[in-house]
Structure 1
Amino acid sequence: MRDLFLLSERQMARISPYFPLSHGVPRVDDRRVVSGIVYVIKHGLQWKDAPQDYGPHKTLCNRFMRWSRLGVFDRIFAGLAGAGPKPERIMIDATHLKAHRTAASLLSKRGCSRRIGRTRGGLDSKLHTVCDGEGRPLVMLLSDGQMSDHKGARLMLGALPPAKALIADRGYDSTPFRQALLAKGVEPCIPSSRSRKIPFPYDNALYRQRHRIENLFARLKDWRRVATRYDRCAHTFFSAICIAAAVIFWL
């Protein structure tokens, strides 16, 4: 395939157990199709502009949409991340992802949120992420752009992996969140907000490692269909994020 992206046999062996079983007519080559999906998401292409080496573009699009609805890519990311080494420390942060005009509808016909909100920068989605000490994503949550970091952290609290410490910026400084972390046996490394009269102590040397989650977001946004949201449905956009995270950090 010239210089095009192609998953290796080892990578396919790691993700193929998460593929749904084929019924009736055998599927087209999974390796070629999934590699084509990765190529389109990374380069921000329309499906019709996918290189012909990957086969018909309708096959790529249909496979991506169908497996997104089934949650296949979500399970691939969760399975690969869960099989990694247990982290001693974790980090949490959030970033905004700009919504293109093709994804700018706030509500679906059924009234379900598309995870797009209106902020000062326009319409966007927000990606809340927990990563390990090496800057590899462990848990991700897609929300409306206007959702606060506090609310996103509360929603992810039950999914936090066991760790000795959690690093976060002062946007996550709240007494309930600190208490919830301590109840889970996690030491918060969070600078106090300027409104606190008595600041909480924290390990400044450990806090300097927080740049790794910022690097994580930068690497994810190198994939153009992650940096800019073109998908109207939240599950298809989140699937694209899961594919990018799995390929960049876990394969």
Structure 2
Amino acid sequence: MSALPFLLTLTQMRRLSPHFPRSHGVPRVDDRRVISGIIYVIRHGLQWRDAPAAYGPHKTLYNRFVRWSRLGVFDRVFAALAAEAGPPDRLMIDSTHLKAHRTAASLLKKGLFPRCIGRTKGGLNSKLHAVCDGQGRPVLMLLTEGQASDHRGAALLLPHLPPARELIGDRGYDSGRFRTALQDKGISPCIPSTRSRKVPIPHDTALYRQRHRIENMFGRLKDWRRIAMRYDRCAHTFFSAITLAATVTFWLGQ
């Protein structure tokens, strides 16, 4: 076996390890090696069997990723590290489409859990709704079918919004209900009015220019090939890949 190309430092592992499940019975294979292998596969868009041999058997990588996805480990790690930064002063909300590969969309829905794959003009895809802080770091994420509207995603994310001074969103979030709900939470909306409004609602144009940060965030997530193109059939494994990528890219540090 060649030298192990670890993608996580010892400092980063010390931040992650408290959120991992405890090992029962036989000790687990080296967490640092396995998590590095999982990150490598997701970042480069590989099939699991094509993972470099330096990370160990590909079945070990796959089984660890699927098992911990079902347990919600990666989701909890993302939430915990994002919470360490404290409440943000500013929030931004937006969504993006993630195209579903034929391996993810070829089978009929089975089981109790939704697959979060829908059909739009662009074909079969999923939709990622996200809320980020003023620095463009994601704090909340939600996966839905591709045809889900921005209003539906906003309504689902609204109860979980952290306290903030203001929220920036594009015209897709311009609704009286959403604006009122934000103001009830003490958050000032910075959302341009839709062209259909008879009386436009003014917004801070200088502040609105900061919205590019959430677009940049989506772009950095899509640099991970297994996120830009969805290969996973199960929504929970695909969402775990997204939360792992967000954790490594924005919250883990050096």
TM-score exceeds 0.5:
yes
C-alpha distance after superposition, 1:26-63 (max 9, x if no partner): 00000000010001000000111111111111100000
Q: How far apart, CA to CA, are the structure 1 residues paired with 2:71 and 2:227?
A: 20
Aligned to 1:132: 133
2:169–2:211 Cα contact (<8 Å) kept: yes
Q: How far apart, CA to CA, are the structure 2 residues paired with 1:225 and 1:2?
A: 25
Unaligned runs of 5+ in 1: none
Aligned to 2:231: 230
2:95–2:129 Cα contact (<8 Å) kept: yes
1:69–1:236 Cα contact (<8 Å) kept: yes
Alignment of 1:60-139 (within 5 A): 60-105=61-106, 107-139=108-140
Secondary structure at the aligned position of 2:192 is classed as coil
2:74–2:243 Cα contact (<8 Å) kept: yes
Q: How far apart, CA to CA, are the structure 2 residues paired with 1:174 and 1:106?
A: 37
Aligned to 1:215: 216
1:106–1:117 Cα contact (<8 Å) kept: no
1:223–1:244 Cα contact (<8 Å) kept: yes
Q: CA shift at 1:108, angstroms?
A: 2.8
C-alpha distance after superposition, 1:56-102 (max 9, x if no partner): 11100000000000000000000011111321110000000000000
Aligned to 2:185: 184
2:100–2:124 Cα contact (<8 Å) kept: yes
Give the letter for the 2:193 counterpart: S
Q: How far apart, CA to CA, are the structure 2 residues paired with 1:179 and 1:12?
A: 42
Q: CA shift at 1:113, angstroms?
A: 1.8
CA RMSD of aligned residues (A): 1.2
Q: CA shift at 1:109, angstroms?
A: 1.8
Q: How far apart, CA to CA, are the structure 2 residues paired with 1:70 and 1:112?
A: 14
Aligned to 1:50: 51
> How high is the sequence identity, in percent, across the aligned residues?
71
Q: How far apart, CA to CA, are the structure 2 residues paired with 1:5 and 1:207?
A: 40
Aligned to 2:204: 203
Q: CA shift at 1:106, angstroms?
A: 6.9
Give the letter for the 1:171 counterpart: G
Secondary structure at the aligned position of 1:103 is classed as helix
Q: How far apart, CA to CA, are the structure 1 residues paired with 2:98 and 2:210?
A: 23
Give the letter for the 2:35 counterpart: V
Secondary structure at the aligned position of 2:238 is classed as helix
Unaligned runs of 5+ in 2: none
TM-score by length of 1: 0.97
1:189–1:202 Cα contact (<8 Å) kept: yes
Q: CA shift at 1:145, angstroms?
A: 0.4
Q: How far apart, CA to CA, are the structure 2 residues paired with 1:188 and 1:9?
A: 41
